[in-house]
């Protein structure tokens, strides 16, 4: 298993009505797009994983890169492409 992880916030840009999701969140769509792109990429140095919340709700969508013994790098205000 890789120790380098790209965490993607799946709560970012969510759409809820009465605490029920009414469509996939922007973060879920970004995660799916990254996973699809990653499968077609020769890069294998990190794992892509969903994360319920990265605490950046006002700057959605958010991802973070982390690994043991290294700094965590967050990237905010990302968008998925249709």
pLDDT for residue 51: 94
pLDDT for residue 25: 86
| DSSP character string of 9-61 | ESSTT-EEETTEEEE--HHHHHHHHHHHHHHTSS--S-EEEEES--S-GGG-S
pLDDT for residue 15: 66
Instruction: Tell me: pLDDT of 58 over 90.
Output: no
Whether residue 55 contacts residue 7, with contact meaning beta carbons closer than 8 Å, is answered with no
Q: Decide the pairing of beta strands 5-9 and 15-17.
A: unpaired
CA distance 5 to 61: 17
Please, which residues bridge with residue 20 across strands?
17
């Amino acid at each position: 298993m890789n120790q380098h992880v790209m965490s993607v916030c799946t709560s970012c840009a969510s759409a809820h009505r009465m605490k029920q999701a009414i469509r996939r969140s922007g973060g879920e769509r970004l995660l799916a797009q990254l996973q699809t792109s990653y499968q077609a990429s020769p890069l294998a140095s990190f794992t892509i994983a969903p994360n319920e919340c990265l605490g950046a709700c006002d700057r959605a969508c958010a991802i973070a890169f982390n690994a043991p013994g290294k700094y965590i790098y967050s990237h905010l205000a990302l968008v998925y492409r249709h």
